[in-house]
Amino acid sequence: MTSDGEAKKIGLIGCGAIGTVLAEAIERKIVECDELVIYDSDASKAEKLKGSLDFPVTMVGSVEELLESKPKVVVEAASQQAVKEYASKIVAEGIELIVMSTGALLDLDVDFSKVHVPSGAIGGLDALSSAANAGIDEVTLTSRKNPKALETADKEEKVIYEGYAQEAARLFPREMNVAATLALTVKPVKVRVRVIADPAVTRNTHEIAVKWRFGEMFLRFANEPHPENPRTSALAAWSAIKLLQSLLREACYKNQ
């Protein structure tokens, strides 16, 4: 309960790999709330998730019904299409929204004061946003994944995309949210992207090279893919959990 006696509820849109990690973190009290309200366009996924938890979970049949439950925060862990359909409705209710499918935000007109983007499968965004204020000359992202994670059957290393972040997020809506997150962080600087299918790698690897006004940065992340969804790095789910903890703490302070 919050200090004013109101139940602390979290809404979840999407009950796949990331949604499941989030729900398990709530059950283990890593994230503290009184109730989880879940929705998935595939009701069987929501039913499966609810059945796996002992924590209080309410399954709803629509996002509108989810919003009627008055959650403090809603986490989108579904798809870019879900963000496009529901983001405006959620923020219009004054509810904080965590977006995992960040590619949708690149060309979405929404009130960003209530929209929050976790770091996802990478880090160092604080340094990048600081550099962006001073002036960034160039940002390059090289992502290397096993062909299975990119739904290809390449037997040898192959560059399957080379271009800019916005198109990469459109062509690979589930695999390249990292590119979209980078683009949002350094906007209006364009992020160059290379996507490599490499059968020799077992981890989703992202290398970020930055040239800015006062120096250079090189960041590298090699993340274990989620066992049930190789397109998703486990770190992405945990970054959402960390952000959710912060937003709930802020909500408690505001109610004191």
* Residues labelled catalytic: 206
Q: Within 10 A of 229 (CB to CB), how many other CB atoms are there?
A: 16
The string of DSSP letters for 150-182 reads GT---SS-EEEEEEEHHHHHHHSTTT-HHHHHH
Q: Rounded CA gap, 234 and 249, in Å?
A: 24
Q: Rounded CA gap, 84 and 225, in Å?
A: 26
Q: Are 112 and 88 within 8 A, CB to CB?
A: no
* φ, ψ of residue 47 in degrees (nearest 5): -65, -40
Q: Which of 151, 128, 153, 145 is nearest to 223 (CA)?
A: 145
